[in-house]
Amino acid sequence: MQPRDLSDHVAYEAGRGIEEVARELGRDPSEFVKLASNENPHGPSPAAAVALRETASSVSSYPKAAHADLTAAVADRWNVTDEQIWLANGGDGAIDYLHRAMLEPGEDVVVPTPGFAYYGMSSRYHHGDVREYELSKSDGFVQDAETVLEGYDGERIIWLTSPHNPTGSTIPLEEIRRLADATDEETLIVVDEAYGEFADRESAVALIEGRNGYDARDDVAVLRTFSKAYGLAGVRLGYAVVPDEWADAYVRVNTPFAASELACRAGLAAIGDDEHVVRTVETARESRTYMREHIDSHVWESGGNFVLVDVGDAATVAQTMQRRGVIVRDCSSFGLPGCIRITCGTKDETERAVETLNGVLADLGLGSDAPEGPDTEVADP
């Protein structure tokens, strides 16, 4: 007996951890700093850490009350109804729920390339295919309606990422509105705002609810996560904000108790910890500015808690930096073999990363003042 044909599926490639790298190099983990996975350099919300400890003794119960409490808190945060909040096991779980709710077998999605591989992976799990629209290196990875429409041919779902990973670019709400107006009535626009707290942009929830001069829409949904600004990547907690018109589909597509007791209680504490979020966002903005001003190569502007750097040979630079104690993301897996992504760290971590990178670039004779040459060819996610 064998599983179904999975030849069209690819494994998700995560950033490497400190313990893994330290074992491979035979060194002490304390020698390394990890700036490869866009994690929160300040750790989890302190309030969430307390909630996790206090909740540990009650994990023998299913998270019915906790799930309802967190749903209500998130709904209050966005001024929407409880039914419009689809809690999930990380942002990945919300992606799966949206595909379950929307895709019939054989229907397709449109995804950005470079981009987050799981959009396409999840579509294929649900027997859908994948088309792409390209964010061009030569254009600074700009996101607008015209760029997305070049890859659109009536597909069921279009995925936008704002801020975009790994480039950091964002798409204005007016461009999202234009895109929604230009696509079929049964096409859903999903805006992945996993890094939304770090960007000086209004959330696309405004389009769902018809705020700030926009008409309310039933063809836009928004994805959010507790992994980044709240520092809860390890508990796996995310959610979608969906239009009221089809919000009740959640009860038919979600797994029983979609988020764990620990995750819900941590999220409930974290969502009220504004001080931690403000500190995290300020650190990211300071780190982005420092890297743009001090790295001896081109750094794209970013709305996320990371920057993309043009280094010429990502694999060599990332490996050399790793040997020198700084773990960054080689973006070859995104189809950008000339670029690395560096997570915004604390002041000390950021300064160490910049010093290490500049030393590597000088030793290897790499780097650039601005991106040159033809667009990078990007791979299927």
Q: Please give the pLDDT value at position 258.
A: 87
The Cα–Cα gap between 370 and 225 comes to: 33
| 92 plus 170 within the same structural domain | yes
Kindly state whether residue 3 falls inside one of the protein's structural domains: no
| 309 plus 346 within the same structural domain | yes
Q: Please give the pLDDT value at position 18.
A: 84
| 258 plus 343 within the same structural domain | no
The Cα–Cα gap between 135 and 140 comes to: 8
| CA 238 to chain CA centroid, nearest Å | 11
Domain boundary among 255, 270, 285: 270
Q: Please give the pLDDT value at position 227.
A: 97
**Which residue range(s) make up the domain with 283?**
18-44+274-364
| 202 plus 312 within the same structural domain | no
Domain boundary among 229, 251, 270: 270
CA–CA distance from 51 to each of 44, 224, 262, 266, 273 (Å)?
11, 21, 8, 6, 12
| 154 plus 175 within the same structural domain | yes
Q: Please give the pLDDT value at position 376.
A: 36
| 225 plus 146 within the same structural domain | yes
| Cβ pair 202, 174 in contact under 8 A | no
What is the CATH classification number for the domain harbouring 308? 3.90.1150.10
Kindly state whether residue 376 falls inside one of the protein's structural domains: no
Number of domains in the chain: 2
pLDDT tens digits along 283-295 = 999 999 999 999 9
| 226 plus 330 within the same structural domain | no
Q: Please give the pLDDT value at position 378.
A: 32
State the pairing for strand pair 188-192/33-34. Answer: unpaired
- The DSSP secondary structure of 52-77, one letter per residue, reads HHHHGGGTTS--HHHHHHHHHHHHHH
| 284 plus 323 within the same structural domain | yes
Q: Please give the pLDDT value at position 377.
A: 34
The conformational region for residue 180 under phi > 0 = left, psi -120 to 50 = alpha, else beta, is alpha
Domain boundary among 222, 246, 270: 270
| 244 plus 333 within the same structural domain | no
Q: Output the tens digit of pLDDT for each of the chain's 381 residues.
A: 878 877 777 777 777 788 888 788 888 888 899 999 999 999 999 999 999 999 999 899 899 899 999 999 999 999 999 999 999 999 999 999 999 999 999 999 999 999 999 999 999 999 999 999 999 999 999 999 999 999 999 999 999 999 999 999 999 999 999 999 999 999 999 999 999 999 999 999 999 999 999 999 999 999 999 999 999 999 999 999 999 999 999 999 999 888 999 999 999 999 999 999 999 999 999 999 999 999 999 999 999 999 999 999 999 999 999 999 999 999 999 999 999 999 999 999 999 999 999 999 999 998 766 544 333 333 332
